[in-house]
Structure 1
């Protein structure tokens, strides 16, 4: 295979998954570690990807860039399933919970279909659709109103107002990015405001975020890291990220693809 063809396939892999590891690319293409690293260097020089320790990721977007729901749903699906399965273990029958908009919370909704007596408040039409499809009499879904964002979130004063008189046991928050300085953030000011209202309505905050969200900063902070009671992520989270997060969140859960916890 010519280097140009291999680089095109590498770029396709990174764009589809959001990231790629050097070791995985070596196995896939049957070339040396050094060859893959040269390919990544060439693609990085053209601004087509960002090199990171052990691999590459999609280029960092601007702080106001907001990918659509369909695009985000293709990123890290295996990791999101593991996170969702672990997060679902934190839900008990008869609870009232909040689910923010996002593809990880949407994945979590699928894991909650068998929890009896559950009341779910959400500002995500896709999340509500997952739960409504089952149509169980013992399950209540409350969908807030508001302006719909590119990522399929209902945001703004209507959503914030509807959350003001609601009391929840736990809110599960998806996030665009997480950073020591910026905390949990989003590229949308109105979504940040709505998510803050969702957090205020709950006694416990559980953030669900895969490893690619670390170091990403959106223009608007939703909450500082230390406001999270639990953060559920995946084994792709770097050692440095785990250390920083462990110092700030009350509990860090690293979930394997089957939902079991790893350390």
Structure 2
């Protein structure tokens, strides 16, 4: 097989799977490790893939590109549901919690109907809608004001001021990406500001991030990995990512889907 043919086949494989490991490509194509790495370098130089430790992924969007809530809600639905179900086990009656904007936190909100005496602070319109859809006399929902983003998050000075005087037991934080170098990130500068305030307001930080968030990098950092008391992700996470994550976060929880 010519190098150009092999590179086309590698690209198609990455498009189908989202990412591949060098070791898999070596076995599949029967060539050396160095040959595969040269192929990946050639594809990366053309902007078609992103090289990551031990393999490659399909080239992602720019660090400031932000998909809307509806677009994100159809991605990794089973994974997000499994993560939300695990997160719900951390919510106890009488707690004050915060839920950031995001599709995984919105999935969590739908699972909190039976928790008694709950106070929920959120800057997410879908989260508030989910909680208002099942009203309870013993539940308090605090929805911040602010500027609405494509993720249906309320951000800006009004939102930050609303959160700055509050204290909650746990923040459940949805993120756009995570990596050892940049921490937990978002593609929206305004959303980064309100999320930092939420982190500051919480005694405990629980991050909800499916496997596709690994090595995805948004323009703004919310918090370093070490700030997370718990990180809940799914079993699709690259095995090579588990050790560096486990070293930095307080507790790494990997759920089966």
User: TM-score by structure 1 length?
Assistant: 0.79
Larger CA Rg, structure 1 vs 2: 2
Q: In structure 2, what is the equivalent of residue 38 of structure 1?
A: none
The alpha-carbon deviation at position 148 of structure 1 amounts to: 0.6
Q: Which runs of 5+ in 1 are unaligned?
A: 1-6, 23-32, 35-40, 258-263
Q: In structure 2, what is the equivalent of residue 130 of structure 1?
A: 130
Q: Deviations over 1:22-59 (max 9, x none)?
A: 9xxxxxxxxxx77xxxxxx9xx7986776889998553
Over 3 Å counting, the alpha-carbon distance change for 1:107 and 1:178 in structure 2 is same
Q: In structure 2, what is the equivalent of residue 212 of structure 1?
A: 212
The answer on 1:104 being equivalent to 2:104 is yes
Larger RCO: 1 or 2 (CA < 8 Å, sep 6+):
1
Q: In structure 1, what is the equivalent of residue 161 of structure 2?
A: 161
For structure 1, which segment, 44-53 or 152-161, has the greater mean C-alpha deviation from structure 2 after superposition? 44-53
Q: Which runs of 5+ in 2 are unaligned?
A: 1-10, 22-27, 30-39
The alpha-carbon deviation at position 110 of structure 1 amounts to: 1.1
Over 3 Å counting, the alpha-carbon distance change for 1:103 and 1:56 in structure 2 is farther
- CA–CA separation in structure 1 for the residues paired with 2:20 and 2:182: 27
The alpha-carbon deviation at position 117 of structure 1 amounts to: 1.0
- CA–CA separation in structure 2 for the residues paired with 1:201 and 1:237: 29
- CA–CA separation in structure 2 for the residues paired with 1:49 and 1:140: 46
User: TM-score by structure 2 length?
Assistant: 0.81
The answer on 1:172 being equivalent to 2:172 is yes
Q: In structure 2, what is the equivalent of residue 81 of structure 1?
A: 81
Secondary structure of the structure 2 residue equivalent to 1:151: coil
- CA–CA separation in structure 2 for the residues paired with 1:256 and 1:138: 33
Over 3 Å counting, the alpha-carbon distance change for 1:240 and 1:20 in structure 2 is closer
Secondary structure of the structure 1 residue equivalent to 2:91: coil
Q: In structure 2, what is the equivalent of residue 239 of structure 1?
A: 239
Over 3 Å counting, the alpha-carbon distance change for 1:147 and 1:95 in structure 2 is same
Q: In structure 2, what is the equivalent of residue 26 of structure 1?
A: none
Aligned residues of 2:19 and 2:58 also touching (Cα < 8 A): no
The 5-angstrom pairing of residues 188-203 of structure 1 reads 188-203=188-203
Aligned length: 232
